[in-house]
Amino acid sequence: MIESFLTAFIVYFVVIDPVGTAPIFLAVAGHLDRAARIRTAIEATLIATLIMLFFALCGSWVLQYLKIGQPAFKIAGGIILFLVAWDMLNSKRQRRKHLETTGDDRSADHGKPAQKSAVEPVDTSTEEADSVAIFPLAIPMLAGPAAIMSVMVVSADFGDSMSQSVIGYTALLSVMIVTGCVLALTGYAERWIDPRLGNVFSRVTAIILAALSVQYIVDGLAMLGIVTGAS
């Protein structure tokens, strides 16, 4: 029983990779305040956990019904990750945050500052935190193609045994708890990082993320036999 738990725990920990996800979390959520970062880490972990539990329970049936294979998962995940990396390289998130905080909006007719509405402005920081928690953190960074496929494979290995299934679910939940703690601690530690270093770090992380996305696509094409030599 302990051996099965450790095996499932190691598999989930490797494919979810909370330590490797922490720098990416810091890059995409670093513009939020500390409370929003911690809330984002918790929400992203909870959303990813629900997604993977869903696929652990009925993922194989869904994929068979829709005739979706692992190559399609890898290619789709790679494309999504590349879009995230491109957004980070162009600092689009930082520019949106700057506009939200300064409120420097010009009217289209005369180039004058737009008149403020009598209605109080919407708190966009909450909406931005919710958006980051869902995409790209929960999907596809935590609940990505590799994680979803591993959940379905491990669940299939355990078969119809209730005790083995409980062990698998316990291992998954344990890894997700560790992941949430790692991301929350990362969000808390961001306060000691210089903004200029964070800007450079964001771009370096985006390059690595872009390379990872390309590798996902290459792996998917290799599984289809379109390319060879993928590692």
The answer to whether the CB of 122 falls within 8 A of the CB of 23 is no
Region of 155 on the Ramachandran plot (φ > 0 left; ψ -120 to 50 alpha; else beta): alpha
Indicate whether 177 pLDDT > 80: yes
Report, as an integer, the average pLDDT of 163-191. Answer: 88
pLDDT digits (tens, 9 = 90+) for 27-41: 888 778 888 889 999
> For residues 74 and 216, is the Cβ–Cβ distance under 8 A?
yes
pLDDT above 90 coverage of the chain, percent: 16
**What is the mean pLDDT of the segment spanning 214-222?**
86
Longest CA pairwise span in the chain (Å): 72
Gap between the Cα atoms of 180 and 161, Å rounded: 29
Give the model's pLDDT for residue 82.
Answer: 85
pLDDT at 173: 96
Taking each helix axis from N to C end, the angle separating 70-89 and 18-29, rounded to the nearest 10 degrees, works out to 40
Query: Quick one: which of 62, 84, 89 has its CA closest to 73?
Result: 62
Contacts of 135 (CB under 8 A, 6+ apart): 84
Query: Is the pLDDT higher at 100 or at 28?
Result: 28
Q: What is the pLDDT of residue 47?
A: 95
Predicted local confidence at residue 116, as pLDDT: 44
* Lowest mean pLDDT segment, chosen from 37-46, 80-89, 96-105, 129-138: 96-105
**Among the listed residues 166, 189, 186, the one whose alpha carbon sits nearest the alpha carbon of residue 178:** 186
What is the per-residue pLDDT for 75? Answer: 86
* Percentage of the chain lying above the pLDDT 70 cut: 74
**Does residue 126 register a pLDDT over 80?**
no
pLDDT at 102: 42
In angstroms, rounded to a whole number, what is the distance separating the alpha carbons of residues 89 and 210? 10
Average pLDDT of the segment spanning 119-146: 72
Of residues 81 and 18, more confidently modeled: 18
- What is the structure's pLDDT at 95? 56
pLDDT for residue 35: 87
Cα–Cα distance, 93 to 123 (Å, whole number): 16
Question: Do residues 217 and 75 make contact, with C-beta atoms less than 8 angstroms apart?
Answer: yes
User: What is the model's pLDDT at position 61?
Assistant: 79
State if pTM tops 0.85. Answer: no
What pLDDT does 216 receive?
80
